[in-house]
Amino acid sequence: MENLSLKLVRRIGDNGDLIGNQQINYSEDELRELYHKMLIARLYDERAFRLQRQGRIGTYPPFSGQEAAQVGSAFALEKGDWLFPYGRDLAACFTFGKDMKTALLYAMGHKDGSNVPDDVNIFPLAIMIPPQIPQAVGAAWASKLKGEDRVALTTFGDGATSKGDFHEGLNMAAVLKAPAIFLCQNNKWAISVPIEKQMATETIAQKAIAYGMPGVRVDGNDILAVYDVTMEAINRARNGEGPTLIEAVTYRVGPHTTSDDPTRYREDSTAKEWRTKRDPVFLFKNFLLKQGIWTEEEDIEIVERLKNEINEAVKEAEITAKTKLTDIFDHVYETPIPDLVLQKEEINKRQLIHK
């Protein structure tokens, strides 16, 4: 059989230097902003993990190790574009405009947890796997029909490629030439199932061939490489050339969620190697230091400032009035249907009885 595997796109080597004779076409401000967004995502993730262990938020899916894939792709979007994230993609959401307070409220089971600013198009986090893929295609197609210059980026893990939504979504997008970008974060594990038990293909990117769209395989821990290939895909989509499938090769260094114990199904030594040798935050920081764009003193200062911002978001979330059970009936339909009205009345009666 012909080898259909695709070459891995990389910009930054393990030593923090640019690979080969490649050039970077970004301003220092852009590079610093990319690092800023990666850093706040990492610090938030570490804090949220601790909050869950303290019983202050619910089950939480950590994403440390995947910041480059998420930030690098979402950073390429423009106002008015759409982001359809999956449950582990808070770094992408923060990059595109979601705030930390509502993210914390979401983890607390609050009705306002999926709120975003009115001018930010972020669909609620997809916990089920992977309904956001065909939904993103629908948004992209609608934008095309309306003559808008908008694209839809949807993100998902390698496990999602084993579901029908993935195949249906890609096929429909290709046929319709919908301006959609499919970003698969191949983090090697779908909960406890390794990628080699999910598919016989060598790569995920090569699946694009069957649908008649470009497939790109990129180092998901190299933020410049992710940003570059996502921008290329977005430009194709805006030019009416249809969708692109991107496979960002990365690694889930933590558990699937805080309810998971990864030591039961994988070697911790592998995760440790990814943490020490290919950590995306440290990799990019090293690059910026070598380029003279960043200093250790700045790093210490910004880490302290961002931790204070996170602390403030935690305080605001924890003093927010909790969601009442009856509130959930008000956020299903614009005009409640009779069944919901009756259910809400029943809940109110029960609460009065138990007071």
Q: Catalytic amino acids?
A: 252, 256, 265
CA–CA distance, 228 with 9 (Å, rounded to integer): 9
Structure letter (DSSP) for residue 151: -
* Contact of 218 with 70, CB cutoff 8 Å: no
Listed in sequence order, the DSSP H helices in the chain are 28-53, 67-74, 90-96, 100-107, 132-145, 164-176, 208-211, 223-238, 268-277, 280-291, 296-319, 338-353
What is the SS3 string spanning 218-279? EECCCHHHHHHHHHHHHHHHHCCCCCEEEEEECCCCCCCCCCCCHHHCCCHHHHHHHHHHCC
